[in-house]
Amino acid sequence: MVSRKQSHKLLAGILLTLFFVVAGILLEGRLVKLPMVSKGESANERVGVIHVHTKASDGSGTVADVMAAAEKDNLSFIAITDHNVAMTESDLAEDPPDLPIISGIEVGTTAGHFLALGIPASWVPPKTNNDRELLASARAVGAFRVLAHPFHPHTPWTDWKTSDFDGMEIWNEDAAWRQSNFFDIMDALLLYGENDQLALVRLASTPEDNFAKWDELLQQRPVAGICAADTHARLRLGFGHDWRFPGYVPSLKVAREHVLVSSSSGNGNPSLASGAEILDALRNGHSYCGLDSLYPADGFSFHVSSGDASGGPGDKLHWSGAARLRISTPSGATSPLIKIFRDGREITEKEAYTIDEPLPGPGIYRTEVFLRQPGWSGGRRWTLWVFTNPVYVTSQ
Ligand SMILES: [Zn+2]
Ligand SMILES: [Zn+2]
């Protein structure tokens, strides 16, 4: 039997431990300084955020609020995608030349959600919830169609029999945090007031299901993989109350798509690449995702050379009998772990800043790079930092 005295002692011990854990997390929030998101991209790299909601659907801010946050976070483009409602011409006119808005819409269907990017303001979707009809209608107006959060716990994509889409979200901030465990969510909530950047880093996880499905699809045809914020800046607390969590400014720092535009874009000045030129590069898989709140991935490079030809994410090369793969990561990050995949199977895993190695043969090559969680409460676990679209090395 546990005496009353012993149970009081036990309770006091638990409360004291809890106090030290909470105090430790609050102190950590103060002490851990994550690098601010900078503008250190290479000459043809444009860094932006895809999949943002405004008041036009269920977000908490206006287009002007989102643009102000995007400017604060040094973004080079933003794709706004409200639920089932296209942007208006006057909203689209809010963008400055060095921060174009890509006009998008998140279309709800019976099979899940998809993004239609580059959609004309005049687009009138057919009056149906059927995914095939909606995908076809968005294709007819030239939209870049991306399956949104295909493995979301509440709204996954279910129609894998269709191939009438161009890309898929591999990482979705809103789906990722819902897969966090109780401790990580509590940790993030405690950290948020003091250090919102670290709080959101704690909620990152590796989307294994998305990667597995992507690898399967890539064996059939090129499918562009992107990361998405899915920012609403609104958490429903019930009884008509909302909390602006996570806010636009911290949320737009987390998952950023680094788009490699052609050097002729922006009339020869890629830093002024238009929304259409950025979209064209995205559609062709010329991009990689950086979870930049962990460390800005600007300048990361993934390159294959075979014979006289060479290329990066999204490019197709012929196998000339030999080829080399080169990866280079920003030098300020702490000990990256680089994994290389060939046709969905991991062939290399190395803690290194750079990799330069021969390729074993033709195949679809992509990489995932990890950094350790900063601070003590993240347990120093490896956290997904960068993933790239593949380079296709073909034998014919
Ligand atoms: Zn959605
Ligand atoms: Zn959404």
Task: Please indicate, yes or no, whether residues 319 and 223 belong to a single structural domain of this protein.
Answer: no
Q: Ligand 1 center to residue 290 CA distance, Å?
A: 21
Q: Is the peptide bond before 246 cis (omega within 30 degrees of 0)?
A: yes
Residue 266 has pLDDT above 80, yes or no: yes
* pLDDT above 70 (res 40): yes
CATH of the domain at 106: 3.20.20.140
Cα of 204 to ligand 2 centre, how many Å? 17
Using the mean position of ligand 1's atoms as its centre, give its distance from the Cα of residue 108 in Å. Answer: 7
CA of 50 to the centre of ligand 1 (A): 12
Q: How far is the CA of 81 from the centre of ligand 2 (A)?
A: 7
Q: Which ligand neighbours the alpha carbon of 113 most closely?
A: 1
CA of 132 to the centre of ligand 2 (A): 19
In a domain, 10, yes or no: no
Q: If you measure from the C-alpha of residue 250 to the centroid of ligand 1, how many angstroms do you get, rounded to a whole number?
A: 20
Nearest ligand by distance to the CA of 105: 2
Whether 300 shows a pLDDT value over 70: the answer reads yes
The size of the chain, in residues, is 396
CA of 173 to the centre of ligand 2 (A): 10
Is residue 51 packed enough to be buried (19+ CB in 10 Å), middle (13-18) or exposed (0-12)?
A: buried
344 and 287 assigned to the same domain: no
Q: How far is the CA of 183 from the centre of ligand 1 (A)?
A: 25
Residue 55 pLDDT > 70, yes or no? yes
pLDDT (mean) for 279-288: 98
Residue 35 lies in a domain: no
The verdict on residue 18 lying in a domain is no
What is the average per-residue pLDDT within 36-56? 88
Whether the predicted pLDDT of 243 surpasses 80? no
Same domain, 164 and 272: yes
One domain for residues 196 and 323: no
Same domain, 317 and 226: no
For the stretch 322-374, pLDDT in tens is 999 999 999 889 899 999 999 999 999 999 999 999 999 999 999 999 999 99
Residues 250 and 352 in one domain: no
| Domain identity same for 258 and 330 | no
CATH number for the domain that contains residue 346: 2.60.40.10
Residue found under tokens 């004309």: 120
Task: Using the predicted structure, report yes or no on whether residue 244 has a pLDDT greater than 90.
Answer: no
Q: How confident is the prediction for the chain on average, in pLDDT?
A: 92
Q: Please determine, for residue 163, whether its predicted confidence score (pLDDT) is greater than 80.
A: yes
- Which pLDDT score is estimated for 21? 87
Q: Using the mean position of ligand 2's atoms as its centre, give its distance from the Cα of residue 136 in Å.
A: 20
Q: Which residues surround ligand 1, an ion (CB under 5 A)?
A: 113, 148
**Could you say which ligand is closest to the alpha carbon of residue 150?**
1
Domain-embedded: residue 171: yes
Distance 79 CA to ligand 1 centre (A): 14
pLDDT at residue 196 is higher than 80 = yes
- Per-residue pLDDT averaged across 261-271, rounded? 93
Q: What average pLDDT does the segment 95-106 reach?
A: 92
Q: What is the mean pLDDT of residues 16-31?
A: 87
Task: Output the CA 360–ligand 2 centroid distance in Å.
Answer: 40
Distance 389 CA to ligand 1 centre (A): 22
Domain boundary among 241, 260, 295: 295
Distance 175 CA to ligand 1 centre (A): 9
Task: Please determine, for residue 3, whether its predicted confidence score (pLDDT) is greater than 90.
Answer: no
Average pLDDT for 1-18: 86
Do 184 and 135 meet the contact criterion of CB atoms below 8 Å apart? no
Residue type, 19: F
pLDDT of residue 2: 67
Q: What percent of the chain has pLDDT over 90?
A: 69
Which-ligand-closest: CA of 232?
Answer: 2
Give the mean model confidence (pLDDT) for residues 104-132.
Answer: 94
Same domain, 282 and 310: no
Among candidate residues 248, 264, 295, the one where a domain is terminated: 295
> What residues does 288 pair with on adjacent strands?
258, 388
In order of 87, 114, 323, the CA distances from 310 in angstroms are 39, 33, 9
Distance 113 CA to ligand 1 centre (A): 5
Do 83 and 225 have their domain in common? yes
- Ligand 1 centroid from CA 157, angstroms: 10
pLDDT in tens, 366-383: 999 999 999 888 889 999
Ligand nearest to the CA of 152: 1
Task: Copy the structure tokens of residue 29.
Answer: 């929030």
Q: Is the residue at 240 inside a domain?
A: yes
Which-ligand-closest: CA of 51?
2
DSSP states along 318-343:
E--S--EEEEE--TTSSS-EEEEEET
Mark whether 117 and 186 lie in a shared domain: yes
Q: What is the mean pLDDT of residues 202-206?
A: 91
Neighbours of 291 (CB within 10 A): 26
Indicate whether 53 pLDDT > 70: yes
Across the range 200-222, mean pLDDT stands at 95
Would residue 27 count as lying in a domain?
no
Whether this prediction's pTM lies above 0.75 is answered by yes
Separation of CA 4 and ligand 1 centre (Å): 52
What total number of domains does the chain contain?
2
Are residues 333 and 272 both part of a single domain? no
Assign 229 a pLDDT band (cuts: 50, 70, 90): very high
Same domain, 113 and 154: yes
51 CA from centroid of ligand 2 (Å): 6
Question: What is the per-residue pLDDT for 93?
Answer: 84
Cβ contacts of residue 209 below 8 Å, gap of 6+?
Answer: 151
- pLDDT for res 390: 98
Structural domain span for residue 208: 45-295
> Which of residues 271, 295, 319 is at a domain's end?
295
pLDDT over threshold 70, residue 37: no
Higher pLDDT, 133 or 196: 133
Nearest ligand to the CA atom of 230? 2
Rounded distance from Cα 344 to ligand 2 centre (Å): 28
Closest listed ligand to the CA of 148:
1
Residue 1: pLDDT band with limits 50, 70, 90: low
Residue 189: inside a domain, yes or no?
A: yes
Ligand nearest, relative to CA of residue 114: 1
- 236: pLDDT strictly greater than 80: no
What backbone phi and psi angles, to 5 degrees, belong to 82?
-85, 160
- Window from 148-157, 241-250, 330-339 with minimum mean pLDDT: 241-250
Residue 82 CA, ligand 1 centroid: distance in Å: 9
Position 15 in a domain: no
